[in-house]
Amino acid sequence: MTKKIPVSGAQAPLQNPFAALAPSAFPDVPLPLTPVPKPSKEKRHRVVIRREKSQRGGKTVVVVSQIPTHFSPPEIEILLKQAKKSLGCGGTIAGREVEIQGDQADRVRQFLEGQGFSVAGP
């Protein structure tokens, strides 16, 4: 037979899942964080830009593809953040490609060349 929970009358408050944790269980020293490397402006390699509209509801995006394989994902994220801030637009990473919102291939080209890339495409 199962024990019934009384529903009438005063009940204790819900259990706190963190109540069993003791402060001594946590380390005193914070764990070291690995710094995200900053991309350097030295000679980079060739990237390709292209405009895409298909399956985007008629909106145009500029896709930066063929990013060199020696770029780590955090470096690609830093590049995207700098591009979004510099161009004043949105963007995302899809695999190893960077998608920048809007039909602004010329501005994307200028930004990438300023970062030291040689750019192919429109």
Q: What does the pLDDT read at residue 39?
A: 61
13 within domain boundaries = no
50 within domain boundaries = yes
User: Rounded to two decimals, what is the model's pTM?
Assistant: 0.63
Packing angle of the helix pair 73-87, 105-114 (nearest 10 deg): 120
| Helix residue ranges, H only, 31-89 | 73-87
Helix (H/G/I), strand (E/B), else coil: 65:
strand
Q: Tell me the backbone φ, ψ of residue 41, rounded to 5 degrees.
A: -95, 15
Burial class (CB in 10 A: 0-12, 13-18, 19+), 89: middle
Q: Per-residue pLDDT tens, the chain, 122 aa: give them.
A: 778 876 776 656 667 777 777 777 666 776 677 776 666 656 668 999 999 988 888 899 999 999 998 889 999 999 999 999 999 999 999 999 999 999 999 999 999 999 889 999 88
Range of the domain at 96: 46-120
20 within domain boundaries = no
31 within domain boundaries = no
17 within domain boundaries = no
CATH number at residue 63: 3.30.780.10
23 within domain boundaries = no
24 within domain boundaries = no
68 within domain boundaries = yes
Cβ partners under 8 Å of residue 115, min gap 6: 39, 41, 44, 79, 82
Number of domains in the chain: 1
Alpha carbons 96 and 76: distance in angstroms, whole number: 8
Q: What does the pLDDT read at residue 36?
A: 64
